Structure 1
Amino acid sequence: MATTSTVGQGAGIPSGWMPAKGASQAEIDALVTRVLAELRLDEKVAMMSGKGFFDALAEDDRIWGARPYRAGGGAERLGIPPLMFTDGPRGVTRVGSTCFPCTMARGATFDAALERRVGEVMGVEARAQDCNFSGAVCINLLRHPAWGRAQETYGEDPWHLGVMGAAMGTGIQAHNVIATVKHFALNSMENARFKVNVTADARAMHEVYLPHFKHCLDAGVATVMTAYNKVNGEFCGQSRALLTDVLRGEWGFEGFVHSDWVRGVHKVYGAAAGLDVENPEPLVFGEKLVAAVEAGTVEPEVIDQACRRILTTQFRFAALEDPLEGYSKDLIAQDSHRALAREVAEKCAVLLENDGTLPLRREKVRKLAVLGTLADMENTGDNGSSRVRTPYVITPLQGLRAMLGNEAVVYAGGEDIDAAKQVAADADAVVVVAGFTAKEEGEYIIGDIALGADGKPGRPSISKEPIGGDRLSLGLPEHQVALIRAAAASGKPVVVVLVAGSAVLVEEWREEAGAILMSFYAGMEGGHALASLLFGEVSPSGKLPFTVAREAGDYPFFDRDAEAIEYGRWHGYTKFDREEITPRYAFGHGLSYARFAYRGLMARVVDGAIEVSVAVRNDGDMAAEEVVQCYVGAPGVEAEQPAKLLRGFERVALAPGETKVVQLAVALESLRWRDPATHGWRLEGGDYRVLVGGASDTLIETRVTL
C-alpha cells in the first residue's frame, strides 16, 4: 500500500505510511489503524495542532499567506506530511493568486455552477502553491449589514448560503484539496467575536443559523472550522452541544473539526467536546493535553478518535487520482483564471436603479467624468486573512480608460468639491465611485485580539494599525454624499457605483443619481467588468443577496461591542415580511437592460418534492441573463413560519424575444420546521404558496396541497 506522496500531499516524501492512489476505504481504514497503533501519545497529540505559525509570520514580516501553514495532521517519524493550509474566500491567499470578486459579490450571481468553477480554480491554485487544505468556504449568515466580514459570506438566506457554499467546497475538492466550512456557528459580528455570547433557541438555531452548514456537509465538504464566539454560554471550539450532539450525533458528520486561528479553544476539554485540531499552534492542546490524558481527565480514546478523523480525511484525499497530471506554478493566475474573474465581476453587479441613464452610449459620451478616490484605488476588500496579493488590479478608472481612451476620461478624486464640479460640468456623463475600503469594514485586526498580537514575544500581528471591524454607519461618508450632489449639480447624467460588502443605505442621495450600480469588491478584473456593464456590452444580471432597508432601525438590533446578544428567527426579508416593512430594495432585486416576463407557473407534488415550472421571456432588445427565484410559503398553522422562504433559484440566459421554461424541484424535507419539544422535524400539512419571479417582491403565485 506504500506510495510516494505527490505535490500538495507532502511533495516527494517517500513513505510506507501513506495510502496508494486508488486505495479503497477499507484499505484506508486499515492503514489508519496501523498508524494509530504505531504512534506514541505525544505524536498523536502533536497531530492535533498546527505548528510553526508564529515563527513563519514573523519571518515573513507579518504577510499572511506568504507560505502554506501547517494546520494539523502529520507524523514526522512515519513520514506522514502535515496538512498545509491556505485561506481563500476570494482567492488563494498566497502572493500572485487570482483575486475574484468577494464572496458576497459571488452570492449576488445566484449561480452555483459559476461558483463551482471558481472553487475549482482555487483548488488548482492551492495545489500549485503547495497547499492541500483550504478555508475558502465561509457561510456565516448575514444577520445585519454592519457586520465587518459580511463580504466573506454569500448573503442573508440560509438556503442560498448552503447551495453556494456547497458549490465552492466541492469545486475546491475536485482537485483533492480538503475544504473546510466556516465559522461554526452563529458568527455574524466581528469586533466582539472573541468574547460575545450568542444565545438562540432551538428553532432559530436549526431553522436559520445551522442548516446551511448541514447542506455543505451533506454535499461532501470534508471539514469544519469553529467560530470564536460563545453559543448559549460555551465557546464554539469546546461546545459539546455543537461539535458532538449536533455535528456528529444528529448530522452524522465523520470528518474532522479544527479551530480558527488563535483563541479558538480555551480549555483542554475542547478535545473531548469534539475539537480535533487546535490551530495554528498548541497553545491549549499540546503538552497540556498530554498531561490531561496522563492525569486521567481526558480519555485516551478521545485522542485516538481525533487522530482517526484527521488521518482518514487526509488519506482519503491522498488516495484520489488528480484531475491534472501536475500542478505547476504557471497555472497560477493563468489567462483562463483571470477571464473567469472578469466573468464573475460582470455577473455579480446589481443594477439597483436606472431611469434610462444606463447603458451609456459611446457615441453620446465623448467625455466621461469619473469622481471619487475609490475609482483610482486597488480596492479588492478586506486586508485580514482573506487578502489576496494578486498580480494586478484593474481599477474602475483604468477599466474605463482602457475602453474609451485616456483623453475621453477625466478624473477628480473629490477632495476638492469645486474642482469635481468643474470636471463634471465639462463632461457628457458622470460616474461617481463611492463606498468603503478595508479600513471601514473587514476582519478586525487590532491590539490584543490580532493573530497572536497580545504583547507576547513571537506572536506578531498581521497589521501594525487598526483595520476593519464592524461598520459604524450603514450610509456613505458625508464627503462622498457631497461628491454625489456636486455631480448632480452639473446637470449631466450621474451614475453612482457602490463598492461595499453588504447593504448601503441610499435615502440621503438616491434622487441625485440617474442610476445606481452595486459592484461590490469586484476583484482583479473589476475595472474591465465595470466598463463593459456601464456601456452595455454586458447587461447587469446580479441580484441582491440581502435586503436594503430605508432606515437602519428596520434591521435587527446590533451592538458591535456586545458581551451578549440574542439571535432570533427574524432577520432580512423574513423580518421585513413579518413586520410589513417595505424595503428600499428587496432581497433578490436587480434590474437589467432587458425586460423579463413570467407566465405559466405550475407546481405539483411528486416523489417527495414540489416540482415547479415557469416560462420566462426576454421582452427586451438585448441578450441578458435572469435569475429565476422560487419561494415557498408554509401554512404556518401548527407553528409560526416565515411568509415565504427561498427554496430554489436558477440563472437563465435569454436572447431578445426568447422564451425558456425553467424547472425547479423543492424537496419537501426543506419545508419542515423544528419542533423544540421533540428535538425533531415536522412537515405541516395544508396549502403551500409557491411563488416565482425575478425578486422577492415581484412574484407570481400558485398553490399546492400537502
Structure 2
Amino acid sequence: MEKHKNFPASEGEDIYTLKAQDLVSKMTLAEKVDLMGGKAARSKIHGALKGTLRTHYNEHPYQAGGCARLGVPEMKFCDGPRGVVCGVGKATCFPAPVMRAAAFDRELEEQIGEAIAEEAIASGANFFGGVCINVPYHPGWGRSQETYGEDTFLIGSLGSALAEGMEKRGVIACAKHFAFNSMENLRFDVNVTCSKKTEREIFLRQFQKVSRVCGAIMTAYNKYRGEYCGQNGYLISKVLFGEWGFDGFTISDFTWGIRDTIAAANAGMDVEMADTRLFGQRLIEAVRSGNVPEDVIDLAAVRIASTLLLHEAILEGKISGATGTPGAGRISRAAENSGSARSFGAGKTPAASGILRQPSRYLASPPHRALAKTCAQEGITLLKNDHGFLPLDRKSIRRLAVIGRLADQDNTGDHGSARVYPPYVTSILDGLHSHCSAKTEIVYYRGHNAAHARRLAWSADAVIVVAGYDYRDEGEAISKDEHSTTTGTFAGGDRTGKLRLKEEEEEMILAACQGNPNTTVVLIAGSTVIPGNWLCEAGALLYYYYGGMEGGNALADIIFGDVCPSGHLPFVIPESEEDLPKLDFSEKEVVYGYYHGYRKLFHEGKKALFPFGFGLSYTEFCIEGLKTEFTEDKGSMRLSDAACIVNGPGVKPLEKEGNLEIRLLLKNTGSREGAAVLQIYVQSPEGGDVPTLRAYERVFLQEGGSREITIHIAGEDLSMFSEKEDRFLLLPGEYRIYAGFHAPDPGENYHFVQI
C-alpha cells in the first residue's frame, strides 16, 4: 500500500500510523470500505428528530466503521455542542457556545471540553461532533447560537480550546461544518461564493487553527463554488489535507452530506454518516470499475484507523492526551507527549474503563454542574445600567414582578441535533425564587396583555421582563418530510424577518417600563437583537443568550449582586439592520463579502448601538502605560526587507518568526472585585483593513487591584492573505494597535508600531 503524503516516514511516523498502515494492508476491500460508513438507520434518525419515536435523536451513540477481526475500534458518535446529546436526564447542559463566547475565557472553554469528553465516555461514545466553528455572515442565521459569535479569531481561539480539552481526555473532537455554512433553511441547496481573500481570512482561518488540535472534520451540506462541500476536492483534498496537512479524518454531515459516490470518495471524504447509502457496496463497485482508485480507499482507511487507535490508547490510559501545540501533528504530538497539561478537576485523568464502571460520577456531576453555572455567570452581559440600578437589594424589595412567557421555560436552546437532555433546568423564575428574600413576594405574569403588564409593574418595587426567542424561533431547521431536503420546517430555522423582538413583546416591555422605571429587561437570543423604543425607558438590560441548566441561578446571582457581571458581546448590535450585510435567506445563490459584523460597521464609518466586545460591570477598569514592540526572532526573515511568508500552498510556515508584544497596566478603579476582558485590535497597513480582534485576556482583579499584562501576538495572527501571491503575508509597515474593553469606534486613538 502506498503511503499517504500526510504520514511521510521522513518526518517521523508515530506507532499508531504505522500500526494502521499495517492493519489496512491486511484488510479486504470490503473491510476497508466498511470503515468508511455509518451504521445508523435513516428512518430512526429523522423520526427521532421529529419526535415520532420513543427515543430521541442520538439517545445512544451512532456507530460507524470498525474492524473487529483486526482490532480497529468503531467510531461512536455523540452530538453537541451544548453538552452530550446521548442519554435522557443524565448529561450536563452547558450554556450555548454563543454565551460561552461572551465569557471570553479560553481556559474555561478547555475545561468544558474536558467535562463534555468525560460525559461522552460515560455515555459510551468516543467521538464528539459538537465543535461548531462556522462564522455567521448575518446574525439571522438560525444556528448562530451554536458557534462562538461573529469574529473569526474568537471562534478559532475558543473552538481550539474546546477541542484541546476533549482530545486530552481521548475523545475525538470533530470541528464542523466545513465550510461556509451560514444559512439554515436552504442549507441543502444554497451555493456560496466569495473572493479568495474572504475565503481564507474570514471563513477558513478558524478551521485551519482548530484542525491542528482536533481529530475529525465534518463537512457542510451547502455548496461552495458550485460543488457540495462533502465532495468538494478543493476544500478537502487541496486545502484541508494538502495545504494544512490535517492528520485526522473527515465525515459527512448526516444523510445528505454527500450526493455522489465517486465524487465524494475522490475528493477525500472518509466516512459517510450516519447511515451508509452512497458508500458501502456502491463504493466497492466504484473501486472495481476503476472510477475510484483503491489507493484513495487505503488513505481514508489509514486516516480513520490511526485516529481511532490513537484515541483508544488515550482512553485506555496507555498514553496521555495532547496539549495542542500549533504546527505539530496531532497524532505525533499525542503519542510523544509524556504528560498532559492542566486538567479539569483534580487528580489523574481517568481511563475510560473507570468512567464506564461508574458513569453516574461523571454525568451531570457536581463539578460539571458548577462549571456550567460559572460559565453562565461569566457570559451574562450587562448592556445598560442607568444610575447603577443593578444590582438589586434583595432586602428592600417587598414585591418583585416577573413578566414574560420565557421566564418559566426550560429554554436552553434549539431542539435540533444540539439538544441536550439534562436531569433538570433551572429557569429564570426558579433562580429568582431561590435567591430572593423570604419576605419578597414574586408575582409572575406571562405577559399576554400590555395594559395588565403596565399595572403589574406599577404595583411592584422592581420589575424583570424576560423576552426573546426559543426553539420555535431559531435553531436547526428540521424538514417535515424525511425523504425531502427542501420541505418547510416545523421549528427553528433562520430569523428571516427583522432582527427585532415580536411586536407584542416590544409592546409588553414598553408598557412595563412605563409602569415602573425600575425595570430590568433580560434578552434571550442566539445572536443580535436590535432593541426597540423601549431601550431608553428600561433601567437595565441584560443579555442572557441561552444559559444552560444552571442559567437561572447564574442570572439571579448577577441581578442581586452576588456575582459581578463580566460578559462581553461576541457580536455587534447595530443601530439598524441596514448596517449589516444584505443576505436573502431564500436565495440559492449567495455571495459572502469581506466585511461583516463589527468590521463592516467600522469600514463604513458607522457607530454601533452596542459594539462587539461591549459589556458593563458593577466596577470600573482602566488601562495605563500601553507599550508595544515587534520582536523579530533570531533566524527569521527580515521584515523590513520583504514581506514575511506565513503559510500558503506548498510553503512551510517559518520555524521562527517574530511576534508583537503588548505591555500595559490594568487597574480596577471601582468599588468591588470583578473581571475585565482586555481586548487587542490590530489594523494592518494593507489598504481596506480595519481594526480586528487579535488577542484577548480575561483578568480578575480585587477592588483597587492592578496587574501588569503582557500579551504576545504571533506574526501568523497578524498576516493578511494576498490574492496576488496566493498566500498569507505579514506586511511591513505601520500597524495601528487598540487596547480596550470593546471594539473601537471610528475616530478612536491608537498606538502605532512599525513592523
- TM-score range with shorter-chain normalisation? over 0.9
Aligned to 2:321: none
5+ residue gaps, structure 1, are: 1-23
CA contact (8 A) 1:484 1:512 kept: no
Aligned to 1:370: 402
Which one of the candidate residues 529, 532, 545 is aligned to 1:504? 529
Of stretches 189-198 and 364-373 in structure 1, the one that deviates more from structure 2 is 364-373
SS of residue in 1 equivalent to 2:504? helix
Q: Is 1:338 paired with 2:331?
A: no
CA contact (8 A) 1:162 1:211 kept: yes
Aligned to 2:189: 195
CA contact (8 A) 1:259 1:275 kept: yes
Matches within 5 A, 1:76-475: 76-94=68-86, 95=88, 96-218=90-212, 220-268=213-261, 269-320=263-314, 321-322=316-317, 323-325=349-351, 326-327=354-355, 328-330=358-360, 331-355=362-386, 356-404=388-436, 408-448=441-481, 453-454=482-483, 466-471=490-495, 472-475=497-500
> For the residues of structure 1 that align with 2:592 and 2:265, how far apart are their CA atoms?
27
| Distance change (3 Å), C-alpha of 1:307 and 1:346 | same
Report percent identity of matched pairs.
Answer: 41
Residue 30 of structure 1: how far off its partner (Å): 3.3
5+ residue gaps, structure 2, are: 1-11, 318-348, 634-657
Which one of the candidate residues 51, 54, 58 is aligned to 2:42? 54
Q: Is 1:74 paired with 2:66?
A: yes
CA contact (8 A) 2:114 2:169 kept: yes
CA contact (8 A) 1:73 1:311 kept: no
Could you list the per-position Cα deviations for residues 171-228 of structure 1 after superposition, in whole angstroms to 9, with x for gaps in the alignment?
Answer: 111110000110000111111110000001110001111000111122x111100000
| Distance change (3 Å), C-alpha of 1:568 and 1:162 | same
CA contact (8 A) 1:428 1:492 kept: no
CA contact (8 A) 2:38 2:271 kept: yes
Structure 2 residue identity aligned to 1:53? A
Q: Is 1:670 paired with 2:706?
A: no
Which one of the candidate residues 672, 677, 681 is aligned to 1:627? 677
Residue 61 of structure 1: how far off its partner (Å): 3.0
Residue 67 of structure 1: how far off its partner (Å): 0.4
Matches within 5 A, 1:590-669: 590-606=615-631, 607=633, 608-636=658-686, 640-669=687-716
Could you list the per-position Cα deviations for residues 292-328 of structure 1 after superposition, in whole angstroms to 9, with x for gaps in the alignment?
Answer: 1111111011111100100011111112253204112
Structure 2 residue identity aligned to 1:469? G
> For the residues of structure 2 that align with 1:38 and 1:408, how far apart are their CA atoms?
73
> Aligned pair count?
669
Q: Is 1:36 paired with 2:9?
A: no
Could you list the per-position Cα deviations for residues 607-652 of structure 1 after superposition, in whole angstroms to 9, with x for gaps in the alignment?
Answer: 300000111111111111000000111112xxx3422111100000
> For the residues of structure 2 that align with 1:25 and 1:292, how far apart are their CA atoms?
31
Matches within 5 A, 1:680-691: 680-691=727-738
> For the residues of structure 2 that align with 1:362 and 1:697, how far apart are their CA atoms?
36
| Distance change (3 Å), C-alpha of 1:55 and 1:228 | closer
Residue 358 of structure 1: how far off its partner (Å): 1.0
> For the residues of structure 2 that align with 1:473 and 1:183, how far apart are their CA atoms?
26
Residue 405 of structure 1: how far off its partner (Å): 5.1
SS of residue in 1 equivalent to 2:161? helix
> For the residues of structure 1 that align with 2:456 and 2:168, how far apart are their CA atoms?
50
CA contact (8 A) 2:395 2:437 kept: no
Could you list the per-position Cα deviations for residues 574-596 of structure 1 after superposition, in whole angstroms to 9, with x for gaps in the alignment?
Answer: 11111011110101100111111
Residue 599 of structure 1: how far off its partner (Å): 0.9
Residue 404 of structure 1: how far off its partner (Å): 1.1
Which one of the candidate residues 604, 626, 633 is aligned to 1:579? 604
Aligned to 1:17: none
Aligned to 2:583: 558
Structure 1 residue identity aligned to 2:501? L
Could you list the per-position Cα deviations for residues 141-167 of structure 1 after superposition, in whole angstroms to 9, with x for gaps in the alignment?
Answer: 121110000000001111111110000
CA contact (8 A) 1:446 1:467 kept: no
Residue 562 of structure 1: how far off its partner (Å): 1.4
Residue 491 of structure 1: how far off its partner (Å): 2.7
Structure 1 residue identity aligned to 2:527? S
SS of residue in 2 equivalent to 1:148? coil
> For the residues of structure 2 that align with 1:37 and 1:600, how far apart are their CA atoms?
62
Could you list the per-position Cα deviations for residues 639-672 of structure 1 after superposition, in whole angstroms to 9, with x for gaps in the alignment?
Answer: x342211110000001111111121111112222
> For the residues of structure 1 that align with 2:593 and 2:732, how far apart are their CA atoms?
25
Provide the aligned C-alpha RMSD in A: 1.8
> For the residues of structure 1 that align with 2:625 and 2:435, how far apart are their CA atoms?
42
Structure 2 residue identity aligned to 1:312? S
CA contact (8 A) 1:501 1:521 kept: yes
| Distance change (3 Å), C-alpha of 1:686 and 1:531 | same
Which one of the candidate residues 516, 520, 523 is aligned to 1:495? 520
Could you list the per-position Cα deviations for residues 407-443 of structure 1 after superposition, in whole angstroms to 9, with x for gaps in the alignment?
Answer: 5211100013333233212210100000000000000
Structure 1 residue identity aligned to 2:240? L
| Distance change (3 Å), C-alpha of 1:487 and 1:398 | same
Of stretches 113-122 and 316-325 in structure 1, the one that deviates more from structure 2 is 316-325
CA contact (8 A) 1:155 1:161 kept: yes
> For the residues of structure 2 that align with 1:673 and 1:183, how far apart are their CA atoms?
23
Residue 26 of structure 1: how far off its partner (Å): 4.1
TM-score under structure 2 length normalisation: 0.86
Residue 279 of structure 1: how far off its partner (Å): 0.5
CA contact (8 A) 1:693 1:700 kept: no
Residue 473 of structure 1: how far off its partner (Å): 2.7
Aligned to 1:16: none
SS of residue in 2 equivalent to 1:480? helix
Structure 1 residue identity aligned to 2:494? D
| Distance change (3 Å), C-alpha of 1:551 and 1:87 | same
Of stretches 602-611 and 32-41 in structure 1, the one that deviates more from structure 2 is 32-41
Residue 673 of structure 1: how far off its partner (Å): 1.6
SS of residue in 1 equivalent to 2:492? strand
Structure 1 residue identity aligned to 2:23? V
Could you list the per-position Cα deviations for residues 484-517 of structure 1 after superposition, in whole angstroms to 9, with x for gaps in the alignment?
Answer: 1121122340100000000100133211211110
Residue 703 of structure 1: how far off its partner (Å): 1.3
> For the residues of structure 2 that align with 1:62 and 1:575, how far apart are their CA atoms?
45
> For the residues of structure 1 that align with 2:583 and 2:83, how far apart are their CA atoms?
30
Residue 519 of structure 1: how far off its partner (Å): 0.8
Structure 1 residue identity aligned to 2:56? I
CA contact (8 A) 1:119 1:168 kept: yes
Residue 55 of structure 1: how far off its partner (Å): 5.9
CA contact (8 A) 1:634 1:641 kept: no
Aligned to 2:649: none
